[in-house]
Amino acid sequence: MAVLILSSASDPHATSVAEHLDKVGVPHKIWSFSEFLHSSSVSFLPGASAPSNHMKFLDDSEIVLSDLQAIWCRRPGSFKAPPMPEPWVEAMIELECKNALGGLIRSAECLLVNHPGRDAESLYKLSQLAVARRVGLHVPETLVTNEPDQAREFYDRFSGRVIYKLIGENTNFCFPRFEFPSGIPTLPCHQSDLAYFDQVKLAPHLFQQRVEKTFEIRATIVGEEIFAAKIDSQKGDSKLDWRMDYNVPMSSIDLPDKVAEACLAMMRGFALNYAAFDFCVDAENRYFFLELNCAGQYLWLENRVGLPISRQLARLLSGQAKPIVEAVRPSETKNAHDGFS
């Protein structure tokens, strides 16, 4: 059975996992939604006497979705219609493509890493914080408000030891000054910022108590396996947001049992088979949950620290590692031979 990787062929994460699949002879296809209409076609007959669903490509290869072992929704991409006389026609074509392919992927009877709907649901940071607290994780004191007076009171409550960050995962792409992959960093609130707090009424803002951290953690979870890295953020030039300085020391680390169990509980709660968790740790060794990213980048950790995340993803996709959310046909994957030695 084959694996479909929804991403660009230029994505190093996709090609890294594909290399591991090659080593054990698991057929796979890397394909992006941007290629649809230009180099591929689809046929879906769900109500026929002999239901079928398959995709054809310019190289004459074909994928029968009902035969897939797994689909990795890594970076599916977006649809691009060919030039049309009117913009609304292009928009209509792209929306129809989104609904057709989105429905096709969701109808596949195989392992999904992750289910697109579960991905979308898990991205809401406020929901993440609430769930993290319910499963027993420490969460920084947080305020989300569009009331300026509440923001000022929160600032005073913590004597100015407050940070601000965006609520939405993709909001930073609205800012032309900051470009991927850095985005908008976590920002400290200063006394001088109080003069502008009336602008809080324009939209909800997220403020948090600033944790006096000693180091940070990125924990990447693949199925039931946890790969955690310690990030010595306080030894770099960007102590508040280490993403502005990737040169800080990093090393592998084991999560405390209670933290690991809580992370897996969140994975089960959001029905995810893959996610990256971010924590900061204070001098009392308290792990403060910051957020999770259902499609977080990991190759930089694999290269820096040596964590075998690509290999584990390949094992998960090929049925050789246990998922959090089982495939629709789990009986066909239980006895799969483990070719990863």
User: In the prediction, which pLDDT does 314 show?
Assistant: 97
Across the range 104-117, mean pLDDT stands at 91
Overall average pLDDT of the 62-80 stretch: 90
Mean local confidence (pLDDT), 176-197: 75
54-63, 173-182, 320-329: which range is least confident on average? Answer: 173-182
**Interval 225-260: pLDDT, tens:** 999 999 987 776 666 666 666 678 899 999 999 999
What is the CB-side half-sphere exposure of residue 237 using CA atoms within 13 A? Answer: 4
pLDDT at 218: 96
Model confidence at 335, in pLDDT bands (50, 70, 90)? Answer: very low
pLDDT given at position 328: 58
For 159, the token pair is: 């004597």
Q: What is the pLDDT at residue 42?
A: 84
Specify burial of residue 82 (Cβ count, 10 A radius: 0-12, 13-18, 19+): exposed
Higher model confidence: residue 223 or residue 176? Answer: 223
Q: From CA 275, how far away is CA 220, in angstroms rounded? A: 6
CATH of domain 141-209: 3.30.1490.20
* 213-332 and 141-209 share a CATH fold: no
| Predicted confidence (pLDDT) per residue in 308-321, tens digit | 999 999 999 999 99
* CATH fit for domain 213-332, picks 3.30.465.10, 3.90.1150.10, 3.30.470.20, 2.60.40.420: 3.30.470.20
Q: With 90 as the cut, is the pLDDT of residue 186 above it?
A: no
What the block records as the tokens of 76 is 């599916």
Q: What is the pLDDT of residues 7-18, one digit of tens each?
A: 999 999 999 999
Please, what is the average pLDDT of the chain? 88
**Does residue 111 register a pLDDT over 80?**
yes
pLDDT digits (tens, 9 = 90+) for 18-64: 999 999 999 999 999 998 888 888 888 876 666 677 778 767 778 88
pLDDT, one tens digit per residue, over 190-213 is: 999 999 999 999 999 999 999 999
Model confidence at 341, pLDDT cuts 50, 70, 90, reads very low
The pLDDT value recorded for residue 248 is 84
The answer on pLDDT for 340 being more than 50 is no
**Which of 79-93, 246-260, 262-276, 326-340 ranks highest by mean pLDDT?**
262-276
Alpha helix (H) residue ranges in 197-331: 257-270, 299-305, 309-317
Structure tokens at 308: 């075998």
The pTM of the whole model exceeds 0.85: yes
Buried (b) or exposed (e) across 164-189, using 16+ Cβ within 10 A? bbbeebeebeeeeeeeeeebbbbeeb
Let me know how long the chain is.
Answer: 341
For the chain, the structural domain boundaries read 2-109, 141-209, 213-332
Q: Is residue 333's pLDDT more than 70?
A: no
DSSP states of 198-237 as a string? Answer: GGGGGS-EEEEEPP-EEEEEEEEEETTEEEEEEE-GGGSS
